[in-house]
Structure 1
Amino acid sequence: MPLPLYLLAVAVFAMGTSEFMLAGLLPDIAAGLDVSVGTAGTLTSAFAVGMVVGAPLMAALARNLPARASLLGCVLVFLAAHVAGAVTSSFPLLFTTRVVAALANAGFLAVALTTAATLVPPDRKGRALAVLLSGTTVATIAGVPGGSLLGTLLDWRATFWAVAALCLPAAVGILTGVPARPGPRNPAAGPPLRRELAQLKNARLLVVMLLGALVNAATFASLTFLAPVVTDIAGLGELWVTVALVLFGAGSLTGVTVAGRLSDRRPGAVVAACGPPLLLGWPALAVLADRPTALLLLVFTQGALSFAVGSTLITRVLYAASGAPTMAGSYATAALNTGAATGPVLAATTLHTPAGAAGPLWVSGALVAGALVAGALVAGALVAGVSLGNPVSRPTP
């Protein structure tokens, strides 16, 4: 894999730390800004909504810019949003900074996904995506737990400052490692924007985007509210939240690494092998969450399965959107974050039900069930050409 791909992963690490870090900070943010935990949880949805809206918008605006300029601009805006978030005492203003940061993150990820796909041969998009997403998974292993620990030892604002600091080496990496040339992202070298947007009428693309969104919604539904599961149900101390996040991150890195080697050639096999255990794992975690050993083991397993299935589906988005070379990354980003936006909102509605802190885990199970049912229906529609398992290596008509 080319060096610029790893430099992009460094920036994804910084942004992934921010996107996931609220999982360990929600109780402190809620107490510090005098809002409920459920209300604080909307910060995750705000970030995800900004990603959904921002991905296609920022990708379209960046079509006229070299990749390096677009990526650097997004990182600098992301940095500024975190500085503002670190100093505010207003929840509405913090909410706004999360949206702005998400727009910058969306623009970066949309351009980075497209750029990554151009740095490798056409049949290695899954491997390239795995390298890029390793920045996110390493964030869940080191960045997010580190942020949670920093928030525990100091306060949640210190974590925002830390993310802002992480943006500096990411910016240097982009300047030194990403080619300045416009490359295939030059609109003159690719199809018109209208034709790229018309790819969204393709049934294959819409199906894999839906499945990816459902699986990611399940992941974020539980990850966002993992801290109350660890402290309230399992009865463990706050530092164990960091341990749980490390295990989830280690699992996610394992899942995305293994899936990255298979998602180009055998995507259907990955989903078939990992989907049913993923479905069973969420309710098992809800039932066994009061047993610390089982909780921690299942957190690792669910992280691995979630990212194996999720990254495979997002890889298929890039294949299905091959007729939209400058916008494919934004479609993948939108699918990921549609799930990230809806999952925590659905999960928050269960916190004050008899299910309590385990409610989000049941929501995750229901969302994965929906994805598997939809996938089964798609598998039965082979005559319509909507097949998850068939590799798509040419532009979709």
Structure 2
Amino acid sequence: MPLALYALAAGAFGIGVTEFVIMGLLLDVSTDLGVSISAAGQLISGYALGVVIGAPLLTIATGRWPRKTVLLALMAIFTLGNLACALAPDYWMLMAARVLTAFAHGTFFGVGSVVATGLVAPNRKASAIALMFTGLTIANILGVPFGTWLGQAFGWRATFWAVTLVGIVAFAIILLLVPHSQAEPEKSNLRGDLAVLGRAPVLLGFAVTVLGYAGVFGGGLIAGNLAGGKFADRWLVSSVLGSLVVLALVLGTMTFALHSRAMAVIYVGLLGAAAFATVAPLQMWVLEKAEGAGQSLASSFNIAAFNLGNAAGAWIGGMVIASGPGLGAVTWVAALLPLSALVVAWLALRLDRLTLREPASARS
């Protein structure tokens, strides 16, 4: 794999840490800023909202920029956003800084996915996307626990100072390693890009991502992410469908395992593997359906779809617990979401076959 992919993974690592580390620092932030833990928890929702809004806006605004320039600009926003978090004097300034930081998230992964696929042979595109997302999984496994420890030991601001440093390093690595071939402006226009988003296969791809990922309430493993990329390189459709089936099975049977501590640990690992095994195939599916012009925008929208799925899943899980049928049913309800994604994926495949059967005159 080209070294440039590891540069993208470095950026993904920093973004992953800043997204998730706040979860372990909610008590520290609430105490220091004089707000409730519930209000501090809204910093998570604010970030997710920033991703959903920022992904299309920034991708459109930078649509004519060279992709390398876009990635560097996004890492600059990310770094400045974390610096603002470290210096935030009150809760609302911290919220604003979190939203600003989140603006870089969706476009980085969206444009980064397009850059990653352009660096490798056609039969390794999904693996390239998976390698970039490995930075996100390593952030969950190593970066977030370390950042949480750092914040609890030296104050939550120390964590954001550390992530600011990660942003500076990632900026330098991308500057040095991403090739000049990615410095060419993207040949696209806004009208054409938006037309791509209106295609039924692309819209169905977004729906599969939202529904497939709404069943996930957290966790992730490097092995599942890389395996999903490897399988998608050879059997894209089968990988999308298969990963959703496995995710539904893990969620559906998880309830029976949670009564045993050992089995609970095993199933948390399986959930992480199954969840992240869907990432590269779903991202590659949307990129293929977008075809050429508009890929960056479609890719960024799909990253927003992942976050929309996260938000929807958290809301549904909360409703199941608060309004019934209760905590024990959360995993069963969650399993229905990737199953509904399978139905949408089947409809998308049916649409593809019908389109291929139409004569050229009918399609024009």
User: What is the TM-score with the length of structure 2 in the denominator?
Assistant: 0.86
Q: Distance in 1 between matches of 2:189 and 2:19?
A: 32
Corresponding residue of 1:61? 61
The partner residue of 1:317 within 275, 279, 286 is 286
The partner residue of 2:203 within 197, 206, 231 is 206
Q: Do 1:318 and 1:332's aligned partners in 2 also have CA atoms closer than 8 Å?
A: no
Corresponding residue of 1:166? 166
Corresponding residue of 1:328? 298
Structure 2 residue 273 is the aligned partner of structure 1 residue 304: yes
Deviations 1:27-82 (A, max 9, x none): 44344444444443332222122112211221222223222322222212211211
Deviations 1:2-45 (A, max 9, x none): 11111111111111111122333334434444444444333222
The offset of 1:350, in angstroms, is: 5.7
- The amino acid across from 2:65 in the alignment is L
Structure 2 residue 194 is the aligned partner of structure 1 residue 197: yes
Q: Do 2:64 and 2:188's aligned partners in 1 also have CA atoms closer than 8 Å?
A: no
Unaligned ranges ≥5, structure 1: 224-247, 388-395
Corresponding residue of 2:244? 275
- The amino acid across from 2:314 in the alignment is P
Unaligned ranges ≥5, structure 2: 355-362
Q: Distance in 1 between matches of 2:147 and 2:255?
A: 25
Structure 2 residue 319 is the aligned partner of structure 1 residue 343: no
Q: Distance in 2 between matches of 1:271 and 1:109?
A: 19
Q: Do 2:55 and 2:106's aligned partners in 1 also have CA atoms closer than 8 Å?
A: yes
367-376 vs 113-122, greater mean Cα deviation: 367-376
Structure 2 residue 277 is the aligned partner of structure 1 residue 293: no
Q: Secondary structure at the match of 1:206?
A: helix
Q: Do 1:25 and 1:151's aligned partners in 2 also have CA atoms closer than 8 Å?
A: yes
Corresponding residue of 1:227? none
How many residues align? The count is 355
Deviations 1:201-237 (A, max 9, x none): 2221111211112233332xx22xxxxxxxxxxxxxx
Q: Which has the higher helix share?
A: 2
Q: Do 1:7 and 1:174's aligned partners in 2 also have CA atoms closer than 8 Å?
A: yes
Q: Do 1:281 and 1:302's aligned partners in 2 also have CA atoms closer than 8 Å?
A: yes
How do 1:92-103 residues align onto structure 2 when only pairs under 5 Å count?
92-103=92-103
275-284 vs 210-219, greater mean Cα deviation: 275-284
- The amino acid across from 2:270 in the alignment is T
How do 1:1-397 residues align onto structure 2 when only pairs under 5 Å count?
1-180=1-180, 183=183, 186-187=185-186, 190-219=187-216, 222-223=217-218, 248-249=219-220, 252-282=221-251, 284-285=253-254, 288-289=257-258, 291-323=260-292, 324-349=294-319, 358=327, 362=330, 365-379=332-346, 382-385=349-352
Q: Secondary structure at the match of 1:264?
A: helix
Q: Distance in 2 between matches of 1:218 and 1:41?
A: 20
For residues 95 and 256 of structure 1, do their structure 2 counterparts lie closer, same or farther at Cα, with a shift above 3 Å needed? same
321-330 vs 271-280, greater mean Cα deviation: 271-280
Q: Do 1:138 and 1:253's aligned partners in 2 also have CA atoms closer than 8 Å?
A: yes
Q: Do 2:208 and 2:345's aligned partners in 1 also have CA atoms closer than 8 Å?
A: no
For residues 290 and 106 of structure 1, do their structure 2 counterparts lie closer, same or farther at Cα, with a shift above 3 Å needed? same
- The amino acid across from 1:344 in the alignment is A
For residues 101 and 286 of structure 1, do their structure 2 counterparts lie closer, same or farther at Cα, with a shift above 3 Å needed? farther
Q: Distance in 1 between matches of 2:350 and 2:39?
A: 46
Q: Do 2:211 and 2:340's aligned partners in 1 also have CA atoms closer than 8 Å?
A: no
123-132 vs 108-117, greater mean Cα deviation: 108-117
Q: Distance in 1 between matches of 2:353 and 2:301?
A: 18
Q: Do 1:47 and 1:341's aligned partners in 2 also have CA atoms closer than 8 Å?
A: no
User: What is the TM-score with the length of structure 1 in the denominator?
Assistant: 0.79
For residues 125 and 381 of structure 1, do their structure 2 counterparts lie closer, same or farther at Cα, with a shift above 3 Å needed? closer
Q: Distance in 2 between matches of 1:347 and 1:156?
A: 28
Q: Do 1:129 and 1:260's aligned partners in 2 also have CA atoms closer than 8 Å?
A: yes
For residues 339 and 380 of structure 1, do their structure 2 counterparts lie closer, same or farther at Cα, with a shift above 3 Å needed? closer
Q: Do 1:45 and 1:344's aligned partners in 2 also have CA atoms closer than 8 Å?
A: no
The offset of 1:377, in angstroms, is: 5.0
For residues 34 and 311 of structure 1, do their structure 2 counterparts lie closer, same or farther at Cα, with a shift above 3 Å needed? farther
Q: Do 1:29 and 1:156's aligned partners in 2 also have CA atoms closer than 8 Å?
A: yes
Deviations 1:270-313 (A, max 9, x none): 34444344224336555654643233222111000001123321
Q: Do 2:255 and 2:332's aligned partners in 1 also have CA atoms closer than 8 Å?
A: no
Deviations 1:303-347 (A, max 9, x none): 000011233212211111123244233233222222233333444
